[in-house]
Structure 1
Amino acid sequence: MATVNEITMTVAGNLVADPEIKHTTTGRSVARFRIAQTAAVERNGAWEDGQTTFIRCVAYGPIADHIAASRIGKGTRLVVTGRYAQRDRQTDQGERRSTYELTVDDIGASIKYATVRIDRAPSRPQPAATNDTAGDPWKNDDMFTRQPEQPEF
């Protein structure tokens, strides 16, 4: 099903707390976290912190798995891109509530104030473990360990 007129946005901010990683009954990973972005305001020639905006984020599937494997924690500066939407719900007392949430399409560590090391996640299913390696198409695959060729100047 195609959807049009979604609000896509990219936000840079700091993790408010460690991401909460859970799994659905079908085994799908879900990561929930909030990021905070504080505006800088100039007053009388000096910069001060302005209002802080908190954005709820949720990531599903492989992105949630990668968040868990990355061990990112409170205070990590992230750049998050996704679809911003309103969720309506009803409390146990019958009151209607709305929550705004960014469904994560992509996430990365900001290198504005830090350095990062990128470890590529496997992009293909791992072959089943068997004693027979004769038919293993990945046996001698060094795609992820080869060093790129360096140009000669």
Structure 2
Amino acid sequence: MLDKTPITFAGNLAADPQINFTPNGDAVANFTVMVNRRVKRGDSWEDGPATSLLCELWQKNGSQKKEAEMFVESARRGDRVIGHGEVYTQTWEKDGETRYRDQVRVIEVGMSTAWKVVQVKE
């Protein structure tokens, strides 16, 4: 988990975000964002191949900021989101093999107003 490459992304949620809690009470929202790059073909633009970003948004126990919980309550599958975070590589052992997966530790995420009106409440 040494790699911390900054990333800013915009895409659609592949499923409703899920929230889990660690034994010490920290909350983490897990979600997948599908990002399509636009590709120019001649005089027109087309959707390129989709990339899925596995994301996690942490919230420390006792924090007054409830980002993870508010995001899970607000966001639904298909919603367009914009976020910023750091890419890191998670490693683990399975069947004697080392496995790798890139994930995004999200610092901040919000709903995009590109396709619909977003209402903010406190």
Short-chain TM bin: 0.7 to 0.9
| Alignment counterpart, residue 67 of structure 2, candidates 63, 66, 75 | 63
- Two-structure CA RMSD over aligned residues (Å): 1.7
The structure with the greater share of residues assigned to strand is 2
Relative contact order higher in (CA < 8 Å, ≥ 6 apart): 2
After TM superposition, list the pairs within 5 Å mapping 1:1-153 onto structure 2. Answer: 6-61=4-59, 62-70=66-74, 72-91=75-94, 93-120=95-122
Contact 2:20 2:29 in 1 (8 A): yes
- The Cα shift of 1:68 comes to 2.2
TM-score, structure 1 as length reference? 0.69
- Secondary structure of 2:72's counterpart equals helix
Residue segments in structure 1 that go unaligned for 5+ positions in a row: 121-153
Alpha-carbon distance in 2 for matches of 1:16, 1:69: 16
Which runs of no fewer than 5 residues in structure 2 stay unpaired?
A: 60-65
Structure 1 stretches of at least 4 aligned residues deviating more than 3 Å after TM superposition: none
1:118-146: per-residue Cα shift (whole Å, max 9, x none)?
A: 112xxxxxxxxxxxxxxxxxxxxxxxxxx
Deviation at 1:5, TM superposition (A): 7.8
TM-score normalised to the size of structure 2? 0.86
